[in-house]
Structure 1
Amino acid sequence: MALPSRAWLKIFCLLASGLISTATLADQPGEFGFYVLSLSWSPTYCKQEGKAVNPYQCDVADPYRFVVHGLWPQYERGYPQSCPGMPERIDRRIAVDMEDIMPSHSLVFHQWRKHGTCSGLDPEDYFGLTRRAYEKIAIPGVFKKLDKRGKAAPATVEKAFRLANPGLQEDGMAVTCDRGELEEVRICLTKDLAFRSCTAVDRAGCRSDSFEVPPPGAR
């Protein structure tokens, strides 16, 4: 939908005053190159956050392993966020439906506001796509069976995911770490959820030679 002339005049004035940048104007719904599916290793979050954890994620009989942090629209460098013209609030039912892979309702709401609004999709379709992206990824068996604290190199974790997911390339993912522990696995996908390369994302991976991998239930 085209902006009225008064809106463009206001934007021009804001640009001239330096209050907004051309980068801000570039963040429009649906205008991006690809997605990053970010999978968080839940035991690290539960261990590091202590009393501040979400009890629905960490104080459960069957601890979560990899959960969805988000499905993020990306440029080749950088990413759009909080795109205008989309609803900021979503139905709580969507968060309830996502609990098995995104156990925090506040995270679901935040991910929609920051990232989902830039997808060009409505909330139901965006989170439906998020679920399909999650279901596309085969989690390596070692993470399904892990029951004690271990240690791994970022390259080893990447290799395990590549072997479990034919077509996933070395430069199409990144493993991140936080405070010496496995944090996330980030996988680059086209808008049709095919694997693709993403040099900038790959280069932003963990720089440590190795990190600890907390087991489910660690606190």
Structure 2
Amino acid sequence: MPRPIIPVAALLLVFTAFGCSASESANGSFTATKSCEAYSSFAKQSNPGAQKIVPGTEYEVREINKVDYDWLRVEVPGAQPSLRWVRKECGTPELSDKPTKAQRQREIAAAAAAGSACNIANKQDSYLLAITWQPGFCEHVKYNGKKPECDAMNGGKLEAKNLNLHGLWPNKKECGTNYGSCQGEQFSLKQETIDKVAPWMPNFFYERTFGAYEWNKHGKCQSLSPDDYFVKAVSAVRVVNDSEVGKIVLGSVGKSFRVNDFFERVKASYGAQVADSITLICTQRKYLQEIRVSLPLEFSTDGELKQMVGGAVPARARAVGCGDEVYVEGAGRD
């Protein structure tokens, strides 16, 4: 019996449909500002039960359709199915790098169901490099007098010459944001390491409290010694600092840059893979606080940003808590 011939155009349509269906997990809330259709599939415009979101109601965000998203998938209580796609323009999204309580419970339950422990060392499948813009943190985030580097910076005794290390976090997909607090080597650093790290993690100029916290929560979950771990972490920050990312931030101190322009410049310099690996995090929907970069399990800090990012999994969102423009605060209180 002869096999049916499938037209090439039909095959292309099938592949295109599957290629466009990918979405990104997301955390946060979406507050409706107008009544809009809540679709089970926005591509097919299907809406079982003719559901609509209600203005003034806050919904839990579960997914976005892409990094530069225009659709969000939210929980609509009472709808069947309850997960529905709504247009971004129908409300105000507040995406976060931290999961909601309900999402965290689901992640823990999923990890337990899969039999995967989230505090066993050397089970990571990727890394996240968290970079702080210190003036943005020190001036606009409450630190309750527990950050001597912020006291020094706000008092004009510490300059902001470069991006700073927040942390290098091993990640495990099955654990979501709950991979950490593993058993491992105790925190101890050579003076040589402290001297190398301090310009990139200024808490080290005054104490080692924050470094110990990062090691106990994240560092113990990978195989490097404390010295090697922190040296590699600041080397990764240096790569970002010396890249187009660092040039944009350091060249914008005391003024703003547009989020779209930021990502277009990064994309033009290194390609979409690198641009999609980055998340900007703001406070008060205006001030730059952090830059986070997704990294693969095996990454090198010997080359440029494109080589370091390699084949990293794309970030969940390109901006969290930011408006269309981001202000880069200068050191010292105004």
Short-chain TM bin: 0.7 to 0.9
Conserved? CA contact 1:157–1:175, under 8 Å: no
Instruction: Provide the residue aligned with 1:174 in structure 2.
Output: 279
Equivalent position SS for 1:156: helix
For 2:267 and 2:278, how far apart are their aligned partners in 1?
9
Which residues of 2 match residues 104-143 of structure 1 at below 5 A? Answer: 104=203, 105-137=208-240, 138=243, 139-143=245-249
Conserved? CA contact 1:38–1:187, under 8 Å: yes
How far residue 47 of structure 1 moved from its aligned partner, in angstroms, is 0.9
Of Structure 1 and Structure 2, the greater helix share is in 1
Equivalent position SS for 1:117: helix
- Count of residues in Structure 1 that have an aligned counterpart in Structure 2: 198
> What's the TM-score, normalizing by structure 1?
0.74
Tell me which amino acid in the other structure corresponds to 2:291. V
Unaligned 5+ segments in structure 2 are 1-108, 301-307
Q: Does 1:217 align with 2:314?
A: no
The structure with the larger Rg is 2
How far residue 26 of structure 1 moved from its aligned partner, in angstroms, is 3.7
Higher RCO structure, 1 or 2 (CA under 8 Å, sep 6+): 1
Instruction: Provide the residue aligned with 1:154 in structure 2.
Output: 259
Shift in alpha-carbon separation, 1:82–1:91, aligned structure 2, 3 A: same
Of Structure 1 and Structure 2, the greater strand share is in 2
Shift in alpha-carbon separation, 1:115–1:182, aligned structure 2, 3 A: same
Shift in alpha-carbon separation, 1:122–1:67, aligned structure 2, 3 A: same
> What's the TM-score, normalizing by structure 2?
0.51
Conserved? CA contact 2:190–2:227, under 8 Å: no
Instruction: Provide the residue aligned with 1:203 in structure 2.
Output: 317
Instruction: Provide the residue aligned with 2:171 in structure 1.
Output: 74
For 2:146 and 2:327, how far apart are their aligned partners in 1?
18
How far residue 82 of structure 1 moved from its aligned partner, in angstroms, is 0.9
Conserved? CA contact 2:122–2:222, under 8 Å: yes
Shift in alpha-carbon separation, 1:72–1:47, aligned structure 2, 3 A: same
Unaligned 5+ segments in structure 1 are 1-17
Which residues of 2 match residues 3-42 of structure 1 at below 5 A? Answer: 21=112, 25-42=117-134
Shift in alpha-carbon separation, 1:154–1:147, aligned structure 2, 3 A: closer
Shift in alpha-carbon separation, 1:192–1:208, aligned structure 2, 3 A: closer
Shift in alpha-carbon separation, 1:43–1:157, aligned structure 2, 3 A: farther
Tell me which amino acid in the other structure corresponds to 2:188. I
How far residue 152 of structure 1 moved from its aligned partner, in angstroms, is 3.2
